Amino acid sequence: MTFRILSLDGGGIRGVIAAVILAELEKEINQPLNKYFDLIAGTSTGSILAAGIATGIPSREMIRLYEQKGERIFRYTSRFSLKRLKVILQYGLSAPKHSNQGLIEVMKEQFGTTKLSDIYDSPRLLITAYDTISRMPIIFKSWREDKDYFHVPLWEACVCSASAPTYFPAHQLKTQSKTYSAIDGGVGANNPSSCALAEAIRLNHSLEEISIISIGTGASNRPIPWEKAKGWGLGQWGWQGRLIEVLFDAPSDIHRYITKELMGSLES
């Protein structure tokens, strides 16, 4: 029996692209995605989509979330906007571009009091984040009774996963046993497909049984020629988010490569 995985990349507001694709997929298979897939994995904006799908929210409604509430999450188009004064006063001149207030409010509105444990395995939900204290990944799993993560509110798991460095402050997550400083899972697994594949194998599914659909949010069209990159320092790499862009794109490509090679081995 086929074990179906849906993997959703990070990508900020571009998550609306993935939401549109998901709506078409839902239309094509003519059934809710949470009834079709066995495991749904998401990082950053992908975690929001994954959580929505896992809780039975139609993809069309997730599109409206981006269209109607996107501006509340990503409030400022420029780091030099005077509207950012409150953020600067709170965090200093090197403050993140956005406050996380809008992100938290929207996630609470969307998911309410639902916890990871409420979803359990119908379908299984996997969300990635990263802890800056232990310098280790955080893998939220709805089906594993982990004392630290199992009862985390769904809204908070999404905030952890979507707290992209330089864009949002790190999120402090307090569990029964410890405190985490969570940032965007995209710093390690912007494409969570290989994480999902590893979990499927751990659940005793063979590669022959596993099917994966991995949906991204588009790729950068800003090549960096060697003539420029060879001499760049912190200033040039930091300008216009080039370094962050590369650091998020590279893990996506690496995890996509790992997944493709493992799944492709069935054909060799």
Q: Which residue has the tokens 């216009």?
A: 240
Higher pLDDT, 228 or 264: 228
Task: Using pLDDT thresholds of 50, 70 and 90, give the confidence band for residue 160.
Answer: very high
- Distance, CA of 47 to CA of 266 (rounded, Å): 29
For residue 135, give the 3-state DSSP assignment. coil
Sort 177 into a burial class: Cβ within 10 Å, 0-12 / 13-18 / 19+. Answer: exposed
Higher pLDDT, 237 or 34: 34
Top pLDDT among 239 and 17 is at: 17
More reliable by pLDDT, 35 or 222: 35
Q: Domain limits of the chain?
A: 3-264
Task: Give dist(CA 237, CA 246) in Å, integer.
Answer: 9
Cα distances (Å, whole numbers) of residue 160 to 122, 163, 174: 22, 6, 11
Asked if residues 9 and 18 have their Cβ atoms less than 8 Å apart, the reply is yes
pLDDT value of position 260: 84
Q: Burial code of 44-77, b = ≥16 C-beta within 10 A, e = fewer?
A: bbbbbbbbbbbbebbbeebbebbeebbeebbbee
Quickly state the pLDDT bin for 164 (edges 50, 70, 90). very high
Angle CA(131)–CA(9)–CA(114) in degrees, nearest 5? 65
Residue among 2, 33, 69 at smallest CA distance from 215: 33
Q: Report the percent of the chain where pLDDT is more than 70.
A: 89
The CATH number of the structural domain formed by 3-264 is 3.40.1090.10
On the question of pLDDT at 139 being above 80, the answer is yes
Give residues with Cβ within 8 angstroms of 53, minimum separation 6. 6, 22, 33, 34, 37, 40, 59, 62
Amino acid at 131: D
What pLDDT, on a 0 to 100 scale, did the predictor assign at position 249?
A: 77
How much is the pLDDT for 267? Answer: 47
Query: What does the pLDDT average to over 154-177?
Result: 94
Q: 3-class SS at 105?
A: helix
Residue 194 pLDDT > 60 = yes
Q: Which whole number is the average pLDDT over 53-80?
A: 87
Tokens 């290989």 belong to residue: 194
* Three-state secondary-structure class, residue 265: coil
Q: What is the pLDDT of residue 82?
A: 56
Is 266's pLDDT higher than 60? Answer: no
CB-hemisphere CA count at 13 Å for 40? 26
Using pLDDT thresholds of 50, 70 and 90, give the confidence band for residue 80. low
Q: Of the given ranges (80-94, 155-169, 198-212), which has the lowest mean pLDDT?
A: 80-94
Which of 176-180, 240-244, 245-249, 261-265 has maximum average pLDDT? 176-180
pLDDT band per the 50, 70, 90 thresholds, residue 138:
very high
The pair of three-digit structure tokens given for residue 62, joined into one six-digit string: 């997730």
User: Who has greater pLDDT, 243 or 73?
Assistant: 73
Whether the pTM exceeds 0.85: the reply is: yes
Give per-residue pLDDT as tens, 199-248.
999 999 999 999 999 999 987 667 888 888 888 887 788 776 777 778 77
E-strand spans in 71-223?
A: 124-131, 136-141, 171-174, 179-184, 210-215
Mean pLDDT of the chain, nearest integer: 89
The pLDDT-based confidence of 84 (bands split at 50, 70, 90) is low
